[in-house]
């Protein structure tokens, strides 16, 4: 078995960890390796690739390239990096609407759903059966009764309280409900890893949403005074076709159903006004969608973020609820600060996971020593996931800045190459700083340092 693990050619730390585990607990270790080891990842990759191939054969994307003669070389190399790791090219949206807070996000999504006439696609990690979930369920049920095709895909673990009984009216009306990695004995141990953490909503191919906001009262101040603070974006145009392709692949992988492809063919894609894009390029937001997950060998979101960080010359503003960096991302952040870039990290004072909070603080000394300024958001849980680079690049999506999001979860992020979008996210960052306190280095007790260092040991599992 040790020789087989060596042939996997994983990192030395991972390889030695597995060999040590099998040596110390040979029988139990074998089952742990079978359930959680590299072969488990390989099985998921093979299944995902089959779905991807089937979807590619049945779903043709019409998404034109925009004029790139004036596209800076630094952008071209980054666009090529994304394409080579995800097969998603540079495209655009004619709008980029930042939705700050669950209240604005829900209002915009509900409004777009209410206007939909052909189809609605929704993909969520958390869909609760609370007031927000009930309101959305009822609206979706009503749209189905109006003849709109509605597909709802939720993660089986994140939405464990969303029962088929709760969704009965929706499904009986004709709505389609799918569970990503549905709970079965065969997949029982898959529930810890390989979660679908994406948040995507598409209405008629005309309006699309993504970001960090789930469907829950926990993200709406109108229902909960301690609601998480988060952001979302609303886009339109050709970029939506790539969000659709991610949804279709996830849907087929989860359900084996290709009826969605027929639905989209029947609805037809509305082609954007290409002439306007060519003659008025300043009106278009050039962007790329970046899906990432354990089915990829390249950790696309992390790889692109690190590339952007090394390119930074002026500022890096990172907002994340969970900061659990690996060595590569820690080097990128500290190297940027050491060469004079204004690097700032914004995290919640207390996350919803105590071990994550303690692990995050274990990196404070190293970050501050390199010149990085750290802020803790104090009013409530900060759930925002954004990255602002200089005055042009900006990321927003579902991925936390941690090992789980970069390597184990299925995530989606959007990189926008426009200063207008960059400024919106930079303004959101500064507004959050008004409700934050900067971390000032101070001597901690031995017990506290031991506690945070111990929490860091669990970082690959958090």
What is the set of active-site residues? 197, 199, 204, 383, 385, 390
Rounded distance between C-alpha atoms, residue 348 and residue 229, angstroms: 10
SS3 209: strand
For residue 349, CA distances in Å to 117, 230, 255, 437, 455 come to 43, 15, 39, 9, 16
Q: Is the alpha carbon torsion for 177, 181, 187, 189 positive or negative?
A: negative
**Degrees to nearest 5, angle at CA 260 with 258 and 262:** 85
Q: Which residues share a beta bridge with 235?
A: 96, 208
Find residue 93's DSSP bridge partners. 285
Contact 81, 229 (CB under 8 A): no
Contact 389, 333 (CB under 8 A): no
Dist CA 3 CA 198 (whole Å): 37
**Residue 285's closest CA among 122, 414, 384?**
414
Strand spans (E) along 94-142: 96-100, 119-124
With contact defined as beta carbons under 8 Å apart, do 85 and 303 qualify?
yes
> Which residue in 390, 387, 415 sits closest to 300, CA to CA?
415
Environment class of 93 (CB within 10 Å of its CB; exposed 0-12, middle 13-18, buried 19+)? buried
Residue 259 CB neighbour total at 10 angstroms = 13
Residues 199, 127: contact at Cβ < 8 Å?
no
DSSP 3-state of 376 = strand
Determine the Cα–Cα distance for residues 403 and 292; give it in Å rounded to an integer.
12
């Amino acid at each position: 078995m040790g020789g087989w693990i060596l042939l996997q050619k994983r990192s030395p730390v991972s390889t030695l960890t597995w060999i040590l585990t099998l040596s110390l607990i040979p029988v139990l270790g074998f089952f742990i390796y079978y359930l959680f080891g590299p072969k488990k990842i390989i099985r998921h990759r093979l299944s995902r690739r089959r779905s991807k191939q089937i979807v590619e054969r049945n779903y043709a994307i019409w998404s034109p390239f925009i004029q790139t003669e004036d596209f800076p070389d630094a952008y071209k190399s980054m666009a090529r990096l994304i394409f080579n790791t995800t097969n998603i090219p540079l495209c655009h949206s004619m709008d980029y609407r930042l939705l700050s807070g669950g209240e604005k996000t829900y209002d915009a999504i509900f409004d777009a759903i209410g206007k939909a006439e052909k189809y609605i696609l929704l993909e969520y990690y958390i869909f609760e059966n609370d007031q927000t979930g009930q309101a959305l369920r009822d609206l979706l049920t009503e749209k189905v009764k109006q003849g709109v095709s509605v597909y709802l895909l939720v993660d089986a673990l994140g939405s464990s309280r969303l029962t088929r009984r709760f969704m009965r009216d929706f499904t009986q009306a004709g709505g389609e409900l799918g569970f990503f990695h549905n709970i079965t004995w065969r997949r029982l141990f898959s529930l810890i890893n390989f979660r679908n953490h994406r948040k995507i909503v598409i209405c008629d191919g005309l309006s699309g949403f993504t970001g960090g906001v789930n469907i829950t009262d926990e993200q709406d101040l109108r229902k909960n005074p301690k609601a998480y603070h988060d952001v979302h974006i609303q886009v339109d145009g050709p970029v939506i076709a790539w969000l659709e392709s991610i949804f279709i692949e996830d849907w087929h992988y989860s359900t084996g159903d290709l009826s969605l492809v027929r639905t989209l063919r029947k609805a037809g894609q509305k082609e954007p006004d290409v002439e306007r894009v060519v003659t008025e390029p300043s009106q278009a937001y050039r962007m790329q969608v970046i899906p990432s997950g354990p089915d990829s060998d390249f950790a696309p979101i992390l790889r692109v973020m690190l590339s952007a960080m090394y390119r930074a010359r002026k500022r890096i503003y990172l907002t994340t609820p969970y900061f659990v960096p690996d060595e590569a991302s820690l080097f990128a952040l500290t190297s940027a600060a050491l060469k004079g870039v204004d690097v700032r990290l914004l995290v919640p004072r207390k996350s919803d996971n105590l071990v994550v909070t303690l692990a995050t603080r274990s990196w404070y000394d190293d970050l501050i020593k390199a010149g990085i300024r750290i802020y803790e958001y104090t009013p409530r849980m900060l759930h925002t996931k954004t990255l602002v680079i200089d005055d042009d690049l900006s990321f927003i999506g579902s991925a936390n800045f941690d090992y789980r999001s970069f390597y184990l979860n299925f995530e989606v992020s959007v990189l926008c190459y426009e200063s207008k979008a960059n400024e919106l996210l930079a303004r959101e960052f500064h507004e959050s700083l008004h409700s934050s306190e900067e971390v000032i280095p101070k001597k901690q007790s031995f017990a506290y340092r031991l506690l945070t260092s111990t929490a860091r040991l669990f970082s690959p599992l958090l």
